Amino acid sequence: MTPHISSQKDDIAKIVLCPGDPLRAKYIAENFLDNPRLVNSVRNMLAYTGTYKGKEITIFSSGMGMPSMGIYCYELYKFYDVDTIIRIGSCGAYDESLNIFDTILVEKSYTEGNFSKALNNADCHLIEADEHLNSLIKETSNEKNINCIPANVLCGECFDYYVENLNILLDRLPKDFNLKAAEMESFALFYTAKYLNKKAACLLTVVDSHYKKQQISSEDREKSLNDMILLALETSLKI
């Protein structure tokens, strides 16, 4: 047990899927896992462990933002011996070729924040997902005919729709970064995984766009991301 997780060690599987929203964790457990059981409810950060096609998997909500993700992924890796975490979240599109409900596989995550400096006094702002894990996800996407778009993302500290001048923010990014989307957790996950010699990947579903003025409801965000969920679960069978 930790200050944030009430689970016993054997309650948590070696493979964890991390949606941000606790209700999405509940939805995934109830609709995709066999025999799911609630293994954490501290602060209502719901977690469930069950099986998918015979493979034990934990669905553990991470909350919003790098500090929250940083807490949960660190404790899962360090104190529960989790080997692999796949974030399954949502993002906003910064590329006009992307549409609502497109699935993105994050290759690189960039942040202006100081998560790395806070954790271990390192000056790191750009980090990659686990290469082997990403290759398994791409392989699975081809096998299951689930379109998956490799992309680099901005991992922000402020929800981008509240940023006073988004163009100024975008102009500060590295010119060769090839930004396609923005979210708020991937950098903390990738950096913590590398720091602790673990594996991490991030799948995202586009839920809004800065180009096409497309949006979906909070209920759709919770329940309509099934392609991404299935891709993460099917990949987990290969790990």
Domains for the chain: give ranges and CATH numbers. 9-236 (3.40.50.1580)
More confidently predicted of 33 and 209: 33
Give the span between the Cα atoms of 226 and 149, in whole angstroms: 16
Listed residue (191, 216, 26, 38) closest to 108, CA to CA = 191
Model pLDDT, residue 225: 86
SS3 of residue 173 by DSSP: coil
More confidently predicted of 199 and 220: 199
Could you tell me how far CA 116 lies from the centroid of its own chain?
18
Task: Reply yes or no on whether the pLDDT at 215 is more than 90.
Answer: no
Beta 149-155 vs 103-110: how paired, if at all? Answer: parallel
Model pLDDT, residue 181: 96
Per-residue confidence band for 224, with pLDDT thresholds at 50, 70 and 90: low
Give the CA angle between residues 24, 30, 31 to the nearest 5°. Answer: 90
Per-residue confidence band for 221, with pLDDT thresholds at 50, 70 and 90: low
SS3 of residue 27 by DSSP: helix
Catalytic residue set: 208
> Among 56-65, 174-183, 203-212, 218-227, where is mean pLDDT lowest?
218-227
pLDDT in tens, 102-115: 999 999 999 999 99
Give the span between the Cα atoms of 118 and 175, in whole angstroms: 26
Model pLDDT, residue 223: 55
pLDDT in tens, 78-91: 999 999 999 999 99
Structure-token pair, residue 52? 């998918």
